[in-house]
A and B are shown apart, each in its own frame.
Chain A
Amino acid sequence: MLSATPKIRAQSTVVFCVAALACLSLGAVTQAEISTDQPGAIVWFPKVVHDANRDTIIQLTNTTGVRISLLCLYVNAAPNPNTGEPLWQVVDFQISLTRQQPTVWVASTGLGPRPSDGRPEDLHPGLVPPLAQGFLGELRCVVIDEGEVPSSKNALTGEATVIDRAGGSLRKYPAFTLRSMGGNNRDTVLALDDREYSACPRILLLNHYYDQAPDPVTGSPVSTTVTFVPCSADFDRAVPTTTSLAFDTFNEFEQRLSASLQVTCFADLPLTWVDSRPDPTRSVFHFAMQGTIVGQTRIRPVPTRSVGVGTGVILIAEESLGNGQSTALKPHFIGGALQGDVIVLPSSF
């Protein structure tokens, strides 16, 4: 090789670069990201709300032919009236679903300890606590076995419908599901790393109307609300996770602008508040700023130096079309998070 020509040396460099890139990519690209399409072993509703106007209908279904048990955690992240920070109050409960059994409850009422419709006790999923007015937060359910340890059964699908009292508007979204990847060590530390459970997304794509852009059909101004929830959560020590998000938004002229946001525990806010809460018209997400009706916003959780806690988030958006009517908007994902996330369940004692 000492006598190799400069051209050969250059080509050798290219080969090693290609090989190195491929190896790096193998590590970076994951095969089983979070999904909303297929059943999983963890099901996740990022926005559950009960207030004077809004209530939430939760649907859960066991898609397998065997009975399963679930450990579910409601997290109330409504703003603390004194500090404005999320409350992060956690309530957990256990229910069970028989083979192929669907169930439904309304957040404000839950499910009673005994069946109210005369069904046998063993067909009643169990007690689901009702949520008081003022609840704004998330619901996560994990499939567990008889020993109350996490199980590998990819059994669950779910839907949530936020329903308005005034106007009756419905915003229905599918629950996010995390699939067990077969490497379940049955402890209470759930690794979302594509080995124990599927990973959270590396990039979230939100294809949306810019705020106050005219709806193409009705002409009324459209506005978007986004809800972010970090994937990592330590329910044992009750430590909320903080994640930094980088936003790149592209308008129809391919012009790019950026913004950033830090999320601790839970964030539910109008899209324009990401970068300009005092004056939404100055936001990069405002129609007046962009000049086009729709945009593609790419949201990237910024990795940190800390080991053991990832920075992944999930997102659900709601679009208001004026006159109190709105729809839920499910984002798209690209790839699995580079840093694995961790959910620590509360320990039994």
Chain B
Amino acid sequence: MSTMTAKKLSRALWGLALGVASLWIPGIAGATIGSDSSGAILVFPKVVVDTSGVLFGRPTDTEIQITNTSNSIIAARCYWVNATGHCSNAPDVACTPETASSRCPEGGRCLEGWTETDFRFRLTKRQPISFSAADGLTVFPLTGGNQGPGGQTNADSSIPPVPEDPFIGELKCIQVNPEDYRPTIGFNPANNAAGDLAGHATIVSALPADAPDVDARKYNAITLKSTTVNNQDDTLVLGGPDAEYDGCPNVWILNHFFDGAVIQSHFSGGSPGVSRTATTDITVVPCSEDFLLQENNLGGATLQFLIFNEFEQRFSSSTRFTCFREVQLSDIDTRPGGADNAFSIFSVGVQGTLSGQTRIRSVQQADRANGIMVVAERFLAGGREGAVNSSAENVHFTGSRDRSDFIFLSPNQ
């Protein structure tokens, strides 16, 4: 066999091999956002730090857990998105729409903020880390001469604390190549190279140590899987044509108690039972975000709500948000604060049933999907000595959109 023929045959064989492999990967790649699988984009829609308790009543912090689920070293570029509001006439004073009247000097309004702080880190194979948002993680486990069993390290890794306290906002992380920090598909064939990042957030509020009283609520980070098509540039295409990542869902489905519903439990054997009063908060963040221009020019949408009670009766409402919205259900259609809540369509007094299904849809724009991500928190009041206990939950969803969302990353320097 001549050298030329051998080379041609060699090329043909490799071509066949790559063809088979390329047929395999896109053919089986899934394309659904999720909270119970790893992915290439990790979103914690709600991160709260308020160590003095001035905004949320109790000292509060958020514990973040991030894990590399693959057998390879990976890296991530992450962004703290600071959506903390500040008083229009006292820019150093943090506020929320609910606390503006008490926090801001007379005549002041609470102006929504949007700034980002980015950072990057490496995770060695299968490595988990945890940190509190108030403290960050400036020293990783495998640094300073420490190495993993395979010689991998967390070199060039540091997570700063959130940029201010009080802080309310989100954390977004994008899986990148550990060599050049460019966006990449996942490294684990077991999940079709969909991405290797998984995470949890636990919002913990605790009274001081001399009277320990802890309340905690935990949710899974939302993950967007890689479609395994990625041009490695800093414009990430979520869903729609030429998608590099899952698109955000079309409709979010929240099953909840109507605000003010009294939940009775523990009835048995003549037991008097326990009664608690429920309220629900939702946090909404946009899927599109512009970290390149460092401004909130993409986020924001009109949110349409359809509410069904147990009698199959249907109501609707709507609201707008720009970059971040954390709101009690009853405040969606009434003024912030508790004064008008009894008149809300999310109030048990208006609906007449304990539970409801609320379907949340963001209105699309001509040039992008305008997708959103949602997490919810439920509060039950009236427990021990009037304490409030809470739980967090990932919200169900259904459907997809034919348009894309975009995340523009800051320059990779």
Contacts and interface: CB of A to CB of B under 8 A. Distances in A.
Contacts of B393: 159, 172-174
Nearest to B130: A294
B255 A102 contact: yes
Given A8-B13, A168-B383, A334-B37, A321 B204 contact: yes
B292 interface: no
Interface in A158-206: 158-159, 161, 163, 165-174, 202-203, 205
A4 B1 contact: yes
Contacts of B132: 216-217
Interface stretch (B74-82, B210-218, B283-291, B317-325): B210-218
A132 B266 CA distance: 11
Given A5-B1, A63-B357, A15 B13 contact: yes
A94 interface: no
B158 interface: no
Contacts of B127: 250, 252, 254, 296
A22 interface: yes
A55 B266 contact: yes
Contacts of A293: 130
A47 interface: no
B35 interface: yes
A55 B269 contact: no
Interface string B65-76: 101110000000
A321 B378 contact: no
Contacts of A165: 265-266, 274
B204 A218 contact: yes
Nearest to A64: B398
B34 interface: yes
A157 B141 contact: no
A294 B312 contact: no
B69 A296 contact: yes
A36 B394 contact: yes
Given A5-B6, A26-B28, A207-B200, A292 B141 contact: yes
B105 interface: no
Interface string B276-300: 1000000000000000000000000
Contact of A170 (B23, B308, B378): B378
A19 B20 contact: yes
Contacts of B354: 104
A163 B390 CA distance: 10
Contacts of A295: 128
A101 B278 CA distance: 19
B189 interface: yes
B252 to A, nearest CB: 10
Interface residues of A, number: 98
Contact of A327 (B34, B218, B253, B397): B218
A12 interface: yes
Contacts of B214: 218, 220, 321-323, 325
A59 B9 CA distance: 62
A108 interface: yes
Contact of B357 (A100, A163, A255): A100
Interface stretch (B143-151, B229-237, B327-335): B143-151
B63 A174 contact: no
A161 B37 CA distance: 22
B125 interface: yes
A31 interface: yes
Contacts of A4: 1, 6, 9
A285 B61 CA distance: 25
Given A163-B265, A253-B142, A296-B128, A59 B218 contact: no
Given A39-B398, A174-B394, A207-B199, A8 B10 contact: yes
Interface stretch (B190-198, B336-344, B361-369, B402-410): B190-198
B276 to A, nearest CB: 7
27 contacts: A8-B9, A22-B24, A39-B396, A50-B268, A100-B357, A102-B355, A106-B267, A117-B353, A133-B268, A159-B393, A168-B274, A170-B380, A172-B393, A205-B67, A205-B69, A207-B198, A216-B132, A217-B63, A217-B132, A250-B125, A250-B126, A251-B128, A253-B142, A253-B148, A254-B126, A294-B128, A322-B214
